[in-house]
Amino acid sequence: MIGGGFAGVINTFAGNGSAITLTILTELIGLPPNVANGTNRVGVFTQSLAGSYSFHKNGKLNLGKSGKFIIPTIIGAIIGVIVATNVSNDQFRQVFRFLMVAMLFVILVKPKRWLKETNSAANHNLRWVIPIYLALGFYGGFIQMGMGVFYLASMVLIAQFSIIEGNAVKVFVVAVYTVFVLAIFQWKGLIDWKVGAIMAIGQTTGGYLAAQYASKFPNSNVWVYRVLVFVVILAIIKLFDLHLLLFV
């Protein structure tokens, strides 16, 4: 529950909380990787649902202008989870390390881009939007880990949403596509519901509280940006085993 709580906060503020929950499920509890992938989605769904409710209640979730980003993401996620239930994602995890390094540079270059308000007048070329969000959805359906970071970056830098409103859309779209993801994992018998439910209690609490903070407190956009940078740096340290250098 404690690990799930931290993951819920991190996922709602930034993303990559699944790095915590997947490690708990595989290394501490001993679930096979594909079962851990499915079981992790139970808490991902409940925390995203709680976060979406909180963002909506506080007027930060605007679905009217988000459909063009949400629909291709959901389609991509369904394709991704079908692939995930049939192949190993170990090789994809190796690519993920370098994606995180690239993302750190994207986040740190011109940080003021991340602190702007939503540009309601922005025009979006669907020839770029559809394939980008299909790919993001595929990634989320396939492995989930890091999805929040990549999706939030796309909402801020491509869709030109504020970091808070972009987070609200991110949390909502994850909640929606995870319904389909859970159904497919359950169909394949790859969910441990008892473990998933216990972890989901912490994830839901963390997700709801993080969304409340992000929606209500002044300068929350600055703090969300700082958490995003911190999370990506920690992910890089862990993925490249840089922490082991301290013990050499």
Does the model's pTM come out above 0.75? yes
Torsion angles phi and psi, residue 26, rounded to 5: -90, -45
CA distance 225 to 14: 8
Residue 72's pLDDT band (cuts 50, 70, 90): very high
Residue 247's pLDDT band (cuts 50, 70, 90): low
Asked if pLDDT for residue 42 goes beyond 80, the answer is yes
Mean pLDDT, rounded, for 127-134: 92
What percent of the chain clears pLDDT 90, i.e. is strictly above it?
A: 41
CA distance 157 to 115: 11
Please give the C-alpha separations between residue 74 and each of 80, 158, 177, 178, 242, in angstroms, as whole numbers. Answer: 10, 18, 5, 9, 35
Residue in 16, 46, 13, 18 with CA at minimum distance from that of residue 215: 13
The confidence score (pLDDT) of residue 17 equals: 85
| Residue, of 202 and 125, whose pLDDT is higher | 202
Q: What is the mean pLDDT of the chain?
A: 87
